Copies of this chain bind each other. A is one copy, B any other.
Amino acid sequence: MNIKTADEKQRKQALIAETALKMFEENDFYDISINAIAQRSNVAKGTVFNYFKTKENIFMHLLLVGYQEFFLQTINQLIQAKLTTIPELKSFLLSNTRDLIENHLTLIKLNALRGPVLEGKASREETIEGRKKLYEVHEQLAELINSLCPSVDVKTANKIFIIQSSIASGLINLSNLDSFNQEPIPVNMDDFQISILNDSVETFDFYLTGLLGK
């Protein structure tokens, strides 16, 4: 039991990371304690630190690995989509955005933590390492798009996904202005109301049209 295979180690690390991710769906970074992560993972507090040097590393890991997986999945979907025209690409990207928001909202929330919160205490090396890998996948995705739609150059394709996340991330921040702590404000504030999903898709749609033409 003292010596673990690389696989066993990875599995335990994944367990802890997944627990943290689940908790991040419901709570904010500062409301999630290492203690709580450990308990919900059925693991001792010290064990968490055996797999992640700091609390920030856990969430940086979630961000980097989560996005890698999302982009890998996107690559696969794109391969199967066999699209060739800009309208098809747009349609694909909008549906991909829906998927991102509906199934990977935490990823978008993590973006807001990265700069101001995580970088301060996350391991520089690990982060750069992870970001390099992510960058590679990102590039692969962009190159794939470029190969399918040659009018979209690689740089543009890369940017598309950054804007995609930006839009969703920003709309999360501006949501719920008509309530306070989840409870509705007893005043009509309809014009403050937004839908993260619909408004993200709409905004991204307009963006793509502007960028790629109709």
Contact = CB atoms under 8 A, between A and B. Distances in A.
B173 A114 contact: yes
Contacts of A185: 128, 131
Interface string A147-168: 0000000110011001101111
Question: Taking chain A's interface residues, is the majority helix, strand, or loop, or is none over half, making it mixed?
Answer: helix
- Identify the interface centre among A111, A117, A165: most chain B CB within 10 Å of its CB: A111
Interface stretch (A12-20, A74-82, A198-206): A198-206
Given A138-B192, A155-B191, A170 B180 contact: no
B159 A194 contact: yes
Given A115-B176, A159-B191, A163-B203, 4 more contacts: A112-B173, A114-B173, A170-B171, A202-B210
A44 B36 CA distance: 22
A69 interface: no
Interface of A: 28, 30-31, 109, 111-112, 114-117, 119-120, 124, 127-128, 131-132, 135, 138-139, 142, 154-155, 158-159, 162-163, 165-177, 180-181, 185-187, 189-192, 194, 199, 202-203, 205-207, 209-211
